[in-house]
Structure 1
Amino acid sequence: MRFQGTLHEPKIESPETSHFVLVHGGGFGAWCWYKTMTLLKESGFKVDAVDLTGSGVSSCDTNSITSLEQYVKPLIDTFNELGNEEKVILVGHDFGGACISYVMELFPSKVAKAVFIAATMLTSGQSALDAISQQMGSNDLMQQAQIFLYANGKQNPPTSIDLDRTLLRDLLFNQSAAKDVELALISMRPIPFAPVLEKLSVSDENYGSVPRFYIKTLQDCAIPVSVQEAMINSNPPELVFEIKGSDHAPFFSKPRALHRILVEISKITPR
């Protein structure tokens, strides 16, 4: 674990909040956080992990999702249920970065800090596809793994993206244990396409008021370090951490390192 400051040296105090809300990436579900949830709860934190629409145990057909708002509705519901003065540390992985950004714009007063883990940390007017595709031309493995689904017919745009199960280990889980790969193989679902295309609209007053932290995954084959660094450089967070030996799924491959960083972030007093 190592961090590099983009601002000043952090001041460590007692946590502003002891409540984490974990948001999975595209194709994943709340199930992927089982190790992180266990470790955080053992450290005394309250933890919620959300299944976004069409993910995890959600009964919604992924192909029917037509907007980012529809996709993140379960997360919006979670925030609507918070007490008036309650704040959380909001954590997003992968495409979950765009999802937490959407909610940071809606509920800035309820987000103490936002943590992006190998995530799409976008600028306003940018889509997740914009942020990733600019740098992904050489990622042959990602291109090979993508399977576009056309629930409305081939004459219409894709409705979702699935991933070739035979390539998942190499693409997402190249450092993860076999049992976690098997869990993912039976649990992952297609990624709704419309939210990936949707351009994010965020403001300095709302989204920009929330302290952001980024965690880089250094052995990531899905969102390579170069892509992560491009997003960091275009939208600098308070601090950048990195996890050596982590694939795209640090909650599987490096759960204790991830846990230590999350706890450390909880204690940082932002500028």
Structure 2
Amino acid sequence: MTSRVSLLLVHGAHHGAWCWEPVLARLSEHGIPAQAVDLPLDGYSSDVATVRSAVQELRADGPVAVVAHSYAGIVVAAAAHAASRLIFVAARLPLPGESQAALHWNLPGLREATSVDGDGWAHLGPAARDFFYSDCPSHAADLATSRLRPMRSVVPTDPLEMPAWTTVPTAYIVCRRDKVVRVDRQRERAALVDDAYELDCGHSPFFALPDELTGLLMVQAAKTATHSM
């Protein structure tokens, strides 16, 4: 049933499509079509346009379930109204009319590990490794840290009037040992959607618990296929 559904995986701040590689490999083993998109990270509006285009392209072949990690939650909420299902992973889930720039979402620490250059690009220092990957295998954490990208995209001040999750079936995956995103915020937003799960990991379940994360995505793919019949 799930072969009819495509998964679109959207990374968070400073990352790239590469962070989904462990999950993509596992989904492929189960015959579930999936792809990860690279956000430009040069501005929120261009990130939204990239996801909207990717969803529309995949929709031509059937139902699409969009997976959003961290910052990508705002992007997907703005861009994925045409999706069949949304899955937020430790991701911002904006309420209608709520300014994300005014919301206290992240834990302290990562901001202090970030510097912004004269052109507005934010760069992460070495301390970011512990915030993102403290519970991940060392080799994966080292490689991921070396691939982190600068970004100029910022959390928008203007609220969304109709975030996609208010009209599209949605699941939320809480990362209960997250060092980046407040766990109480994650649970608060998870309580608002159709399905809620928790993983016993930090901010990067695609490295820390790829089997468990893939399993949850497969459940959501199956639900998408059933509801699309």
TM-score, with length taken from structure 1: 0.75
**How many residues matched?**
225
Larger Rg: 1
Shift of 1:29: 0.4
* C-alpha distance after superposition, 1:192-217 (max 9, x if no partner): 244x134342427x642200100001
Q: Does structure 1 conserve the Cα–Cα contact (< 8 Å) formed by 2:110 and 2:128? A: no
Distance 1:92 1:45 in 2: 17
Rounded to whole Å, the distance in 1 between the matches of 2:182 and 2:220 is 23
Aligned to 1:10: none
* Aligned counterparts, 1:104-123, within 5 A: 104-105=80-81, 107=82, 111-123=83-95
Partner of 1:258: 213
Instruction: After superposition, give the CA deviation of every residue in 1:28-70 in whole Å (9 maximum; x if it has no partner).
Output: 000000000000011111111000114xxxxxxx3xx3xx221
Shift of 1:16: 8.6
Counterpart in the other structure of 1:38 = 25
**Partners of 2:99 and 2:143 in 1: how far apart?**
29
Secondary structure class of the residue paired with 1:141? coil
Q: Secondary structure at the match of 2:203?
A: coil
| Correspondence 1:11-160 to 2 at 5 A | 14-15=1-2, 17-54=4-41, 62=42, 65=43, 68-84=44-60, 86-105=62-81, 107=82, 111-131=83-103, 133=104, 135-136=105-106, 139-151=107-119, 159-160=120-121
Counterpart-to-counterpart distance in 1, 2:5 and 2:62: 10
- Structure 1 residues 129 and 229: CA distance shift in structure 2, 3 A: farther
What's the C-alpha RMSD, in Å, of the aligned pairs? 2.2
Where do residues 229-268 of structure 1 align in structure 2 (5 Å cutoff)?
Answer: 229-233=187-191, 236-244=192-200, 246-268=201-223
**Aligned partner letter, 1:47:** A
- CA offsets per residue over residues 68-107 of structure 1, 9 Å max, x none? 22123222222332354622110000001111111123x2
Structure 1's 200 and 23: CA in aligned 2 closer, same or farther, altered over 3 A? farther
One of 189, 201, 204 as aligned partner of 2:160 = 201
Q: Distance in 2 between matches of 1:197 and 1:227?
A: 18
Displacement of 1:17 after TM fit? 4.1
Distance 2:140 2:7 in 1: 22
Does structure 2 retain, via aligned residues, the 8 Å contact 1:101–1:202? no
Identity, % of aligned pairs?
24
Could you say which residue in structure 2 is the equivalent of 1:226? Answer: 184
Q: Does 1:173 align with 2:133?
A: yes
| Distance 1:160-1:130 versus aligned 2 partners, 3 A rule | farther
- Whether the aligned pair in 1 keeps the contact of 2:8 and 2:55 (CA below 8 Å) is no
Matched, 1:163 2:91: no
CA shift for structure 1 position 170: 1.8
Give SS of 2:8's match. Answer: strand
Q: Hey, what's the Cα distance between the residues in 1 that align with 2:124 and 2:158?
A: 23
> Where does structure 1 lack aligned partners over 5 or more consecutive residues?
1-13, 55-61, 152-158
